[in-house]
Amino acid sequence: MREKLVAGNWKMNGGLAENAQLLEAVIAGVAGLQGVQRAVCVPFPYLHQAQRSLQGTPVAWGAENVSQYEKGAYTGEVSAAMLLDFGCRYAIVGHSERRALFGEGDGAVADKFSAAQAAGLVPVLCVGETLEEREASVTEAVVSRQLDAVIARCGVESLAKAVVAYEPVWAIGTGKVPTLEDIAEVHDFMRAELAKSHPDTAEDMRLLYGGSVKPSNAAEIFAVSNVDGGLVGGASLKAADFGGIVKAASEG
């Protein structure tokens, strides 16, 4: 049985003072909720702060990116081992903003996935189509390509111990949400494709939905078949909203 997971993605937001308040409020806001795992992914400089605040609470923390390299002359990069030093459980890889704005291709994303998992982190692999791709009816081909790159690099079984987040690029930060049928279609497709050859892996793989999740739509999204929780951007910056979303997952 897959337990639901709600993970926040702060993106490039925050500051020491406001984070302190947000983290306190998040801890309080999700206290006592059963049957749902929760986490926040924060900018690198705030991992230590997250660790200090969240240690010993049911809220895990993680990074928004990780280097594909282990160590060495890679100026500006942060390795998976460094993230582990700060107690991270998760590392987001292949977020569409990294793919679109920082040139991360499927191969680099697969290498990041591999580096994260090899070090003992849980990679949160983001997949999803652009609006153009949706209009061209190639959504399934796009998510298959993105998943296949990881499968080719790390093996199918690697997905059993990972999290996959389906995030239609056009739904991120826009307030636009696919219909529940559209979400179900893509999530069902991803699990069913994998189940054809690897039913156990397909059963274990956690599939989150991401893109404009908020307290008012979370419950209906989390009730969709094969949705195991959410990856939450904007709403994770407000403790009350994040708490409402986690609550919706715990009740679902």
Active-site positions read 95, 167
Binding site residues, ligand PGA, CB under 6 A? 9, 167, 172-173, 210-213, 231-235
- Shortest Cβ contact with ligand PGA: which residue? 233
Angle at 234 between CA 45 and CA 81, to 5 degrees: 30
Minimum distance, C-beta of residue 147 to ligand PGA, in the bound complex (Å): 17
Q: How far is residue 181's CA from residue 236's CA, in Å, rounded to a whole number?
A: 25
* Closer to ligand PGA by Cβ: residue 40 or 121: 40
Q: Which residues pair with 230 in a beta bridge?
A: 6, 209
Minimum distance, C-beta of residue 126 to ligand PGA, in the bound complex (Å): 7
The two structure tokens encoding residue 250: 């715990």
* Closer to ligand PGA by Cβ: residue 178 or 211: 211
* Closer to ligand PGA by Cβ: residue 9 or 250: 9
The two structure tokens encoding residue 146: 């993105």
**Running DSSP on this structure, what letter comes out for residue 120?**
T
Minimum distance, C-beta of residue 30 to ligand PGA, in the bound complex (Å): 17
Q: Strand 59-63 and strand 90-93: pairing?
A: parallel
Q: Cβ distance 155 to 191 under 8 Å?
A: no
The two structure tokens encoding residue 215: 């307290």
* Closer to ligand PGA by Cβ: residue 43 or 201: 43
Minimum distance, C-beta of residue 235 to ligand PGA, in the bound complex (Å): 6
Angle at 86 between CA 82 and CA 92, to 5 degrees: 70
Angle at 217 between CA 24 and CA 234, to 5 degrees: 45
